[in-house]
Amino acid sequence: MGEVKLMKGNEVLAEAAIRCGCDGYFGYPITPQSEVMETLMAREPWNETGMVVLQAESEVAAINMVYGAAATGKKVMTSSSSPGISLMSEGISYIAGAELPCLLVNVQRGGPGLGTIQPSQADYFQTVKGGGHGDYKLIVLAPSSVQEMNDFVDLGFELAFKYRNPAMILADGAIGQMMEKVELADSKPRWTKEEVVEKNGSWATTGKPATRKKNIVTSLEMDSGRMEQNNLRFQDKYRKMEENEVRYEAFQCDDAEFILVAFGTCSRVCQKTVEMARAKGLKVGLLRPITLYPFPNKIIKELARKALGFLSIEMSAGQMVEDIKLAVYEAGSNARVDYFGRMGGIIPTPTEVVEALEKIFSWELSYGVKRSY
């Protein structure tokens, strides 16, 4: 068993980065995730592992530093919160277009605009549908505990390098700020120069030796035919992710008539909701998507065969609910899909969710069958 500590989610991100052999972090302060860089700067990992930590002049610069460093085939990351991620979106699009692996973290706060510093999940669309321009996807991991803030750093890098694609940990202010028990990962050494060349030398800017052609890292292609081919290659990659990388957790779904779907902080609320609803005799289960992209369509389709309804619980105006509707529609099911959530930095309470469930599905609860409409 690894070292067990009581830590904040944001601090764990920093600790996990050092321990997984991350080569560099470039960031810019923004609430509620500033502890990531603060922890790194206090830990001075450059003395321990040689990891570089740099405070950039803006999120725009930070993501472009990540773009540059990631092109050299090394493990680099940044973290920010919603408004900062908006600023980074140009760079993220370039990184995806140039097919570079890197780890991004969004500790979400409420928007739009400057919004609030309280937790939110309103960047779901931005994250899974593409915040920047062009047809690209991020691999999106949604932690619901401080432990997962630790686990997803290494997993995020692993998936990013497997697919040569940026991966994002989509957390929220509550997960970033809360303190929990965490079992920290064991330390791994950073890749040596030789390992970087061996693993990534075919595409990375490691310096051109006489033995290979020059490597050019770019998202630019003026020839439309070749640009379309590039896009088709990206889409192939995304289909592979959809086949192989879906992760979710199903909680009391086997006999459930109503499925709550929630990720991150909302999934914690919904665990309690399931308990309360079951105590009242309602057959309620919880599906927690761990990967938001690729989205767990398949399990939703399976559950849609017998469930009477799905309720998406979100700290937003209802974004993930659209993806659930798509999956249920594709399943040919007439199970009803609805949403309940709070905004502006407010976390829904389990009581609120039970009440919403009873109100929204009052017809199904009365008659015990799917309502045709």
Partner 1 sequence: MEIQEIIKPENLVYQKTPLLNDDVMHYCPGCSHGVVHKLLAELIEEMDLQEKTIGVAPVGCSVFAYNYIDIDWQEAAHGRAPAVATGIARINPDNFVFTYQGDGDLASIGTAEIMHACNRGENILVIFINNGIYGMTGGQMAPTTLEGMVTSTTPNGRNVDLNGYPMKITNLIAQLPGTSYVTRQSVHTAAAVRKCKRSIKKAIQNVLDKKGTSFVEVVSTCNSGWKMTPVDSNKWMEENMIPYYPLGDMKDTIKGEHSDR
CB of 233 to partner 1, least distance (A): 18
Rounded distance between C-alpha atoms, residue 238 and residue 235, angstroms: 5
Cβ proximity of 317 and 265 under 8 Å: no
Closest Cα partner for 18 from 48, 42, 38? 48
| Contact window for partner 1 (CB under 8 A) among 29-37, 49-57, 308-316, 324-332 | 49-57
**Cβ distance to partner 1 smaller for residue 205 or 252:** 205
**Cβ distance to partner 1 smaller for residue 31 or 55:** 55
CB of 197 to partner 1, least distance (A): 11
Letters for 9-38 (x = contact with partner 1 by CB under 8 A, - = none) are --------------xx-x------------
DSSP letter (8 states) at residue 67: H
Count of residues interacting with partner 1 (CB under 8 A)? 39
CB of 95 to partner 1, least distance (A): 10
| DSSP string for residues in 292-334 | EES--HHHHHHHHTT-SEEEEEESSSSSHHHHHHHHHHHTT--
Rounded distance between C-alpha atoms, residue 241 and residue 101, angstroms: 14
Q: 139: left (phi > 0), else alpha (psi -120 to 50), else beta?
A: beta
**Cβ distance to partner 1 smaller for residue 67 or 263:** 67
**Cβ distance to partner 1 smaller for residue 61 or 178:** 61
Rounded distance between C-alpha atoms, residue 290 and residue 246, angstroms: 8
CB of 157 to partner 1, least distance (A): 15
Any residues with CB less than 8 A from the CB of 173 and at least 6 apart, and which?
Answer: 32, 81, 107, 108, 109, 117, 118, 119, 120, 345
> What residues from 134 to 163 belong to the interface with partner 1 (CB under 8 A)?
none
Letters for 55-94 (x = contact with partner 1 by CB under 8 A, - = none) are -xxx-xxx-xxxxxxxxx-x-x-------------xx--x
Q: Binding residue for partner 1 (CB under 8 A) from 36, 98, 292, 356?
A: 98
CB of 205 to partner 1, least distance (A): 4
Rounded distance between C-alpha atoms, residue 16 and residue 311, angstroms: 34
CB of 317 to partner 1, least distance (A): 31
Q: Binding residue for partner 1 (CB under 8 A) from 31, 38, 41, 54?
A: 54
Query: How many other CB atoms sit within 10 Å of the CB of residue 224?
Result: 8
Helix (H, G, I), strand (E, B) or coil at 153: helix
> What residues from 308 to 347 belong to the interface with partner 1 (CB under 8 A)?
none
CB of 102 to partner 1, least distance (A): 10
**Cβ distance to partner 1 smaller for residue 47 or 366:** 47
> What residues from 203 to 222 belong to the interface with partner 1 (CB under 8 A)?
205-210, 214-220
Cβ proximity of 122 and 319 under 8 Å: yes
CB of 201 to partner 1, least distance (A): 10
Amino acid letter, residue 260: L
End-to-end, the C-alpha distance of the chain in Å comes to: 53
Two tokens at 264?
A: 């991150």
Cβ proximity of 221 and 230 under 8 Å: yes
**Cβ distance to partner 1 smaller for residue 2 or 207:** 207
**Cβ distance to partner 1 smaller for residue 50 or 344:** 50
CB of 89 to partner 1, least distance (A): 11
Indicate whether 235 belongs to the interface with partner 1 (CB under 8 A): no
CB of 289 to partner 1, least distance (A): 31
Q: Is 83 exposed, middle or buried (0-12, 13-18, 19+ CB in 10 A)?
A: middle
109 to each of 119, 122, 133, 192, 277, how far by Cα in Å?
5, 8, 22, 37, 29
Residues that bind partner 1 (CB under 8 A): 23-24, 26, 52, 54, 56-58, 60-62, 64-72, 74, 76, 90-91, 94, 98, 205-210, 214-220
